[in-house]
C-alpha cells in the first residue's frame, strides 16, 4: 500500500495512470456499471432486502474494496451465491437492523482470516461440494423468481423455505395465490426479457460487447411497461411490481442495532456462514479472473480477504447486503479492456451517481425484467450439463455433489456444505484404504509366497485393512513386507507389524521385512 501511494505521488506515474484511466479503465468502468446496476437491484430483490441495499453494496465494492484489494481486475458487489442465506437470515431475525449485525461480524471474520494468513484454507473445500452449493443456490434462485415473473408481487410463501413450498397445505395455497395474482402484462415482460437473454446472448457476446445484455433487457422492460398502458389501461403495472428506490437514499440508510449483539446467538452463526461462503466465492472468483487477465497478474488472497472483510463491515454499518468478488462483473471488466483497479473504482462512482442523481429513472424498472435476469443466472448455476458432467466423473464426485444439493434444499447452506464435506472425506478415506498396499501371491513347490508392497504413505487409517490381510496369510508360508517406496509409515502400523512378527513365528510363517 505504501508503494502504491509513492507511485501516485510521482508525477510521471500520475500521468501514466491518468492515460490508462482515460483510455482503458473509464470505458471499462462504465461497462461494468451497466452490467452491475440491474444485478444489484435483482440480487436485493432475491434476498428480500431493500432495493437500495444492493446498490450500496456495489458502491462499497467499487469505492472501498477496490482501493484495498490487490486484484487489478476483480470487481466486488452483491452476489447471487449469498441470496439464499441472506434471505433466510433476514426472515429469521425479523429485524433488518439485527441482520446487519451478522453482516458486520461476517466482515470481521473475513478480516481475521486475512490477517492470520488463512486465505488458502478455503481452497481446500472439494470442488464437488462447491459446485453442489452453487447448483442448490441456482435452484432456490429460480424458485424465488417464478412468482415475481408471473405477477405475484408478495411472495410470502417463501417464509417457510424451499422444502415448505411442497407441504400439502402450502402447495395448494400457492397455486390459489398464483391464480389470483397472475398478471398478463408482467408475464409478457418476463417472456420478452427471457427471449432477449436467451436468443441474443451469443450475438451480443461476439458482435456487441459494448452493450451489456442485462441493461438491454431492463431497458426493453421499461419501454414495455410505459407503452402497454397506452394500448390498454388495464395493462398498467401495479406499484408493487416496479422498483421503488427512495428519492433521498442517504436519508433511508439503516444502521445495525449493536444493543442486540448478545441477544441472539444466531447472529454469530449467520455471520460465520456468510463470512465463510463469501470467502469461498471470492477466492474462486479471483482465481478465475486471474486466469482471464491478459497480463497474468496474481491476486494476493490474504489481502483480498482483508479488503472483503473491511468492505462487508462497511456494508453492515450502512445497511447494505454482503458482498463478494463477482465473476460476472470481473469477466465484463476484462472483456471491456480494464487494466487496473481504477476500472472497479470508476464503476462504484457511476453506481453512486445513479442512486444520488437519477433514482427516478431506476424507479421505472419492472421487477419482471429483474426476475428474468435472475432466472437465467440461476439456470447458469444449475445447468443440466453440470449434473451430467459430475455423474461422468464417478460416484466419489457425484454423491457429494448431489447430497450437498439435497441437504441444502431441505435445511440450509451451512448444513449442506458440512455434510457434503463429510461425504467427500469419506470417499477420500476409502480411496486411501484401497491404495494402501499391493499384494502378490505365487507358489514354489509346496510353499506359498506372499509379497506385500507398501505405498508411499501408510497411516493409522490403513492399519485395519493391512491387519486383516496379514491374518489371512496361511501357516507354513513365506511373507515379505516391502516398505522401500514408503516415505512415511505410521507408528501404529509399525507396532502392529511388530506384534504380528511374534505371531508369525508361532504360525510357522517366515516373515521378511524390507525397509520397514
Tens of pLDDT, residues 45-71 = 888 898 889 999 999 999 999 999 989
On whether the CB atoms of residues 354 and 362 are closer than 8 A, the answer is: yes
Calculate the average pLDDT of the chain. 83
Indicate if the alpha-carbon torsion angle 465, 466, 470, 471 is positive or negative.
Answer: negative
Q: What's the pLDDT at 31?
A: 79
Distance CA 308, CA 76 (A): 8
Give the model's confidence band at 157: pLDDT under 50 very low, under 70 low, under 90 confident, else very high.
very low
Distance CA 412, CA 404 (A): 10
Q: What's the pLDDT at 415?
A: 81
- Across residues 331-335, what is the average pLDDT? 80
More confident residue, 80 or 106: 106
More confident residue, 154 or 117: 117
Lookup result for grid cell 397472475: 182
On whether the CB atoms of residues 315 and 56 are closer than 8 A, the answer is: yes
Give the largest Cα separation in the chain, rounded. 101
Distance CA 73, CA 141 (A): 27
Distance CA 429, CA 422 (A): 10
- Residue (of 102, 86, 49) closest to 266 by Cα position: 102
Checking if the pLDDT of 2 tops 50, the result is: no
Task: Describe the crossing of helices 96-115 and 301-318 by its angle, rounded to 10 degrees.
Answer: 160
* Ramachandran angles phi, psi of 358, nearest 5°: -130, 50
Q: What's the pLDDT at 399?
A: 92
**C-alpha cell, 90:** 433476514
Distance CA 208, CA 508 (A): 81
Give the model's confidence band at 179: pLDDT under 50 very low, under 70 low, under 90 confident, else very high.
low
Q: What's the pLDDT at 199?
A: 86
Distances (CA, A) of 260 to 98, 256, 320: 7, 9, 18
Write the pLDDT tens digit of every residue in 401-447: 999 999 888 877 778 888 988 888 888 777 665 556 778 888 888 88
Amino acid at each position: 500500500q505504501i508503494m502504491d501511494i509513492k507511485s501516485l505521488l510521482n508525477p510521471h506515474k500520475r500521468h501514466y495512470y491518468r492515460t490508462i484511466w482515460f483510455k482503458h479503465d473509464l470505458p471499462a468502468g462504465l461497462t461494468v456499471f451497466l452490467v452491475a446496476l440491474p444485478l444489484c437491484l435483482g440480487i436485493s430483490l432475491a434476498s428480500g432486502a431493500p432495493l437500495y441495499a444492493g446498490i450500496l453494496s456495489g458502491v462499497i465494492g467499487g469505492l472501498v474494496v477496490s482501493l484495498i484489494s490487490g486484484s487489478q481486475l476483480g470487481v466486488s458487489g452483491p452476489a447471487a451465491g449469498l441470496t439464499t442465506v441472506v434471505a433466510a437470515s433476514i426472515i429469521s431475525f425479523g429485524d433488518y437492523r439485527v441482520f446487519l449485525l451478522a453482516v458486520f461480524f461476517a466482515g470481521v471474520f473475513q478480516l481475521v482470516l486475512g490477517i492470520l494468513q488463512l486465505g488458502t484454507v478455503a481452497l481446500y473445500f472439494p470442488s464437488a461440494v462447491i459446485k453442489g452449493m452453487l447448483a442448490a443456490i441456482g435452484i432456490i434462485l429460480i424458485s424465488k423468481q417464478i412468482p415475481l415473473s408471473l405477477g405475484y408481487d408478495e411472495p410470502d410463501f417463501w417464509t417457510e423455505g424451499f422444502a415448505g413450498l411442497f407441504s400439502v397445505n402450502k402447495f395448494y395455497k400457492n397455486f390459489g395465490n398464483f391464480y389470483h395474482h397472475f398478471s398478463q402484462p408482467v408475464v409478457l415482460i418476463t417472456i420478452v426479457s427471457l427471449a432477449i437473454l436467451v436468443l441474443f446472448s451469443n450475438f451480443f457476446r461476439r458482435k456487441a460487447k459494448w452493450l451489456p445484455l442485462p441493461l438491454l433487457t431492463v431497458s426493453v422492460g421499461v419501454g414495455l411497461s410505459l407503452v402497454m398502458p397506452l394500448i390498454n389501461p388495464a395493462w398498467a403495472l401495479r406499484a408493487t411490481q416496479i422498483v421503488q428506490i427512495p428519492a433521498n437514499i442517504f436519508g433511508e440508510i439503516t444502521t445495525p442495532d449493536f444493543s442486540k449483539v448478545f441477544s441472539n446467538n444466531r447472529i454469530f452463526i449467520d455471520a460465520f456462514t456468510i463470512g465463510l461462503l463469501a470467502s469461498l466465492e471470492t477466492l474462486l472468483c479471483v482465481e478465475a479472473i486471474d486466469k482471464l487477465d491478459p497480463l497474468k497478474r496474481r491476486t494476493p488472497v490474504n489481502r483480498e480477504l482483508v479488503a472483503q472483510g473491511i468492505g462487508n463491515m462497511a456494508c453492515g454499518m450502512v445497511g447494505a447486503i454482503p458482498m463478494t468478488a463477482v465473476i460476472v462483473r470481473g469477466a465484463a471488466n476484462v472483456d471491456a479492456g480494464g487494466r487496473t483497479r481504477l476500472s472497479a473504482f470508476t464503476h462504484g462512482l457511476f453506481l453512486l451517481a445513479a442512486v444520488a442523481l437519477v433514482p427516478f429513472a431506476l424507479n421505472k424498472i419492472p421487477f419482471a425484467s429483474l426476475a428474468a435476469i435472475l432466472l437465467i443466472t440461476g439456470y447458469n448455476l444449475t445447468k443440466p450439463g453440470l449434473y451430467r458432467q459430475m455423474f461422468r466423473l464417478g460416484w466419489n464426485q457425484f454423491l457429494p455433489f448431489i447430497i450437498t444439493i439435497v441437504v441444502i434444499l431441505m435445511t440450509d447452506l451451512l448444513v449442506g456444505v458440512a455434510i457434503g464435506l463429510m461425504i467427500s472425506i469419506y470417499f477420500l478415506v476409502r480411496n486411501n484404504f484401497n491404495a494402501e498396499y499391493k499384494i502378490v501371491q505365487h507358489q514354489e513347490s509346496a510353499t506359498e509366497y506372499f509379497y506385500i508392497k507398501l505405498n508411499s504413505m501408510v497411516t493409522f487409517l490403513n492399519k485395519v485393512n493391512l491387519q486383516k490381510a496379514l491374518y489371512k496369510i496361511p501357516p507354513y508360508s513365506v511373507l515379505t513386507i516391502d516398505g522401500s517406496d514408503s516415505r512415511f509409515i505410521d507408528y501404529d502400523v509399525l507396532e502392529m507389524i511388530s506384534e504380528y512378527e511374534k505371531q508369525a513365528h508361532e504360525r510357522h510363517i517366515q516373515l521378511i521385512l524390507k525397509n520397514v
